[in-house]
A and B are shown apart, each in its own frame.
Chain A
Amino acid sequence: DTAVSQTPKYLVTQMGNDKSIKCEQNLGHDTMYWYKQDSKKFLKIMFSYNNKELIINETVPNRFSPKSPDKAHLNLHINSLELGDSAVYFCASSQHRGPSTDTQYFGPGTRLTVL
């Protein structure tokens, strides 16, 4: 059973296009995240949602718009794609309260290539 899943796994698109990445978790967690891994493998948080509410927004361009329809899903929509958006995007989830709090579980990543 896949705990945190992302679609698509690969995304190749032209500059200026709009694209979305979807994330779903079946761990029953209440908090979800988007991280960006650049070409040098550096990982940085972009957004976090708790129970569908935005709680972390790390100075990300407003071309990036996360949406959480329910606490098991967190999607990332990107408008007007730029070359610099090429990266691997990871979704993660965790439980804010409880015995396993603080441990984040990651999806397999979506490799976005902007041409």
Chain B
Amino acid sequence: AQSVAQPEDQVNVAEGNPLTVKCTYSVSGNPYLFWYVQYPNRGLQFLLKYITGDNLVKGSYGFEAEFNKSQTSFHLKKPSALVSDSALYFCAVRDRGDTGFQKLVFGTGTRLLVSP
């Protein structure tokens, strides 16, 4: 079964500093990887995805993610954090069953806290 792991429950970073939120994956076949963000009392918002192609994927709000096949990682990054980036971040992997239809399997989430 496809799975992702987010080893950090919380990441603290000062505003203006670079941030990294970690994700590792375990898949059979080619990985389809996603990052979503959940602001307090809100739904999940799509940030970016990796399907194929360049290992550095650019997404919304200045976020990017680096796909690393040898390390089976898909870490989320941003060069300069904002206080408004404080939220819950989920890594996810597509699991396409025998029917050909897909579901997302989510990691446990990482809370990002950006201090002023």
Contacts and interface: CB of A to CB of B under 8 A. Distances in A.
- Chief secondary structure at chain B's binding surface: strand
Contacts of B102: 94, 102
A107 B44 CA distance: 7
B34 A103 contact: yes
- Chief secondary structure at chain A's binding surface: strand
B37 to A, nearest CB: 11
A16 to B, nearest CB: 27
Interface residues of A, number: 26
B88 interface: yes
6 contacts: A4-B43, A41-B108, A50-B101, A94-B102, A103-B46, A107-B43
Interface of B: 32, 34, 36, 38, 42-46, 49, 51, 88, 90, 94, 97, 99, 101-106, 108-109
